[in-house]
Amino acid sequence: MPRPVLTLLALLIFCCTNKYDLNDDDIKNLNKIIDSMYLLDQGNRTRLYEIDSLYDVAPQTFMFVKNERILTERLGEKYVSYKNDIEQLMQEIQLVDHSNTQKLIDLTKTYGFPSNERLGVYKAKAYMIFVHAPREFFPEVSELISKEFNEGRINEYKMEYIFWHIKGREGFPPTSGENGKAIWRDLN
């Protein structure tokens, strides 16, 4: 084979393979990407509280169903505006969740799961992206996270927290125990 073809082939193989051993540049770039994804994710969710506060509605996350009848009685004619603001923001949240999930899947396939331990940061952010993954990604995220757990790139707590979301968010999510173990609360 001619030398340029071999060089091109080597570059393609290098660029298209998984890069699970992170160097300093990988870590720096991944931290920037994860931080920006997390800021978008949490920023929109914080705006839900701001809208509630603006309309003097008791702060609640979107996980809880707000009673439309009670809100209509309480807000009167402002209810339509409140509902429009919330619905518009929920559409933005859904777009960000979709985009963030796809990006994190791609990053994980390339670099392995970007846990805070692997990125050398105190606060774990990446797993929260998967905790907001849209339903259409559940099979792929589930398979990917199981693989990453078996390879030691995500701890049990973060894996179980993601699975809690994928399995329908029933009961309380796990809490983090010693060495990243998942601790489940007994509801009895």
Long-range contacts (CB closer than 8 Å, 24 or more residues apart) made by 15-22? 18/109, 18/110, 18/111, 18/112, 19/110, 19/111, 20/111, 20/112, 20/151, 20/153, 22/111, 22/112, 22/118, 22/119
- Domain of 179 in residue numbering reads as 22-183
Instruction: Evaluate if residue 112 carries a pLDDT over 50.
Output: yes
Whether residue 188 lies inside any domain: the answer is: no
- Determine, yes or no, domain membership for 8: no
Model pLDDT, residue 187: 66
Answer yes or no: is 70 within a domain: yes
With a cut of 70, say whether residue 135 has pLDDT above it: yes
Per residue in 63-80, pLDDT (tens digit) is 445 678 888 888 899 999
- Asked if the structure places residue 73 within a domain, the reply is yes
Number of domains in the chain: 1
**Higher per-residue confidence, 82 vs 19:** 82
Residue (of 182, 109, 184, 122) closest to 148 by Cα position: 109
In a domain, 33, yes or no: yes
Question: Is residue 160's pLDDT more than 70?
Answer: yes
Please indicate, yes or no, if residue 6 is contained in any of the structural domains.
no
pLDDT confidence of residue 9: 46
Q: Which comes out higher in pLDDT, residue 70 or 22?
A: 22
